[in-house]
Chain A
Amino acid sequence: MKNDALITRRQILIGGLTTAGGLMLSGCSKQLPPTYGNILRMADTFTYAAHQVLLPGESLAKEYSHKDISSFPATGTTNPCDPNLRKPNETYAQLLKGNFADWRLSIEGLVARPGSYSLADLKRLPSRTQITKHVCEEGWSAIGEWTGVPLSRVLDAAGILPSARFVVFYSYDEWADCIDMFDALHPQTILAYGMNGRDLPLPHGAPVRLRVERQLGYKSMKYLERIVVKEEFDDGGKNGNIQNGWAWYVGI
């Protein structure tokens, strides 16, 4: 009698786990980011898959009102051509000197019309202004107003090809990172050139930074240089988060 009950319980558990596994797989029938055989990264990928399956896909991050705008620390790189840096970026120094008149954001990879956009080009596209909360992995948070062009607009203009799955970003402070198409086409994912009603200040990523509002702050890359649309997951190599010990997906 006791054994019967045990088997039943086990069957329920196994049945439940199989069902959950099936849901996971069907929700992410496409490939997941690699785990590098690393148990920490496996847990990150599991969190990513769970969020993909369990969270509503088109949900927007909370937007605040103007009076909620708060003080905002600038951390990480605050000037890519700071002479105190180990490797100040000379190209960026030139662009900064010219007030970014010569700055171009190139869009390459799996797009029908690769090209480059000046600041004026981006400002000509329809803009979006959002007041959102920036949450840093360190534990602090700040609310700011961001103005920019939705990334989806730029990707539409460039004509992303059907095989495109990830969008990779490169910055002047030599970081590389990617986001999936769900985040790339999300309405609040913008290439921001304005902050709190003014041009994006140097410490916050001038002239253009990314905003990815459903992930932690470090996904919103500052000092954008280049965008590449890819089919394969790109960890950014030695300039990426993974090889520097950081999680790729930080929706938590």
Chain B
Amino acid sequence: MAQVVQANLHSSTKADSRTSGHTRWVRVSHWIITASFLTLAFTGVVILMAHPRLYWGDVGNDLTPALIELPISRNYKHGGWDKVESFFQDAASPVSANRTYDIFNKNGWGRSLHFLAAWFLFAVGAIYLLTGVFTGHFRRHIVPRSSELEPRLFLQDFRNHLRMKIRASTGGPQYGLIQKCSYFAVVFLALPLIVLSGLAMSPAISAGYPILQRTFGGFQSARTIHFFAFVALIVFLLVHVAMIIKSGFKRQMRGMTIGGRHEK
């Protein structure tokens, strides 16, 4: 079975070698989404630095316990609160306290730039998804074939990756099994999740469509999930770039920029 698939892959590689390189819409959307993602990642970290604490549920602030505290920016040491006063009489009463220090906060431009890039990711991402469905790009290149979904093949591909035996690329959309699965996970899981968890944080959208924030388990849960989706995408980006270099950087970059050799 493995040999058959391998042979298939091989022959399709051969057949496609004349038409290697990515189609224009894939190339254009790839780089717009890359630029949007990098801007979103950078501004996202800037925004997180203003309040580098993550929580679960609906509520989380400097006066409530955090799930995770990230040692980024001086706001990490969230001391300097005075005039702690209880709202109610009982001992377990929630409190109010005044902030007495100047925090790091670049959200004025950070947030606006984040949403500017988000509009590009959303618009181009939507066009990419629709085109991918209607041209059969996803069916032919991204979604793993049922014949490929075999533990033995996964193991084999995984071992090859561990031994750093990376197949030389065609510069086009002829992908290995783990490669397909990771693209599938990015396109259909991580990116939709990060967009939806981002929208779920909006007070206007969660007023209009409360189900979105409720699905994520509250505002702070959505924020935490948004963060971990970012971490997953950064890990993908690093491995992706490493694999591009390992499998033939020049050919890969050519395939994703000016396209294949023969293309006019």
**Is this pair of chains taken from one and the same complex?**
yes
Nearest B residue to A40, CB-CB: B112
Task: Produce 1/0 per residue, B74-95, CB < 8 A to A.
Answer: 0000000101010110000011
Report the Cα distance A71→B85, complex, angstroms.
10
* Contact status B64-A214, CB under 8 Å: no
With the chains together, A246 CA to B50 CA distance in Å?
14
Residue picked from B48, B51, B98, B209, most chain A C-beta under 10 Å:
B98
Contact A71 B119, beta carbon cutoff 8 Å: no
Q: Does residue A141 face the partner (Cβ distance < 8 Å to B)?
A: yes
Does any Cβ of A come within 8 Å of B160's Cβ?
no
Most chain A CB atoms below 10 A, which of B59, B95, B115 = B59
Q: Are B98 and A78 in contact (CB under 8 A)?
A: yes
Contacts of A195 in B (CB 8 A): 87
| Contact pick for B85, options A133, A201, A250, CB 8 Å | A201
B81 x A138 contact (CB < 8 A): no
- Note all chain B residues with C-beta closer than 8 A to A244: 108
- A9–B111 Cα distance when bound, in Å, is 34
Closest residue of A by beta carbon distance from B110: A137
From B112, B202, B220, contact of A41 by CB (8 A): B112
Given contacts A40-B112, A214-B207, A247-B111, contact A252 B202 (CB under 8 A): yes
Name B residues whose Cβ lies closer than 8 Å to a Cβ of A: 47-48, 50-51, 53, 58-64, 81, 83, 85, 87-88, 94-99, 103, 105, 107-109, 111-113, 115-116, 119, 127, 131, 199, 201-210, 213, 219-220, 223
Q: A137-B50, A204-B96, A215-B204 are in contact. List 11 more A-B contacts (CB 8 A).
A: A69-B87, A70-B59, A71-B63, A72-B96, A78-B99, A133-B58, A133-B59, A140-B62, A141-B58, A214-B207, A216-B203
* 29 CB-based A-B contacts, threshold 8 Å: A9-B131, A40-B109, A40-B113, A41-B112, A42-B116, A51-B204, A55-B209, A62-B210, A70-B64, A73-B61, A73-B63, A74-B99, A78-B99, A136-B51, A137-B107, A138-B51, A138-B105, A139-B48, A139-B51, A139-B223, A141-B60, A196-B88, A201-B85, A213-B203, A214-B204, A245-B108, A246-B108, A252-B115, A252-B201
Which residues of A approach B to under 8 Å, CB–CB?
9, 13, 39-44, 46-47, 51, 55-56, 59-62, 68-75, 78, 133, 135-143, 195-198, 201, 203-204, 213-216, 244-247, 250-252
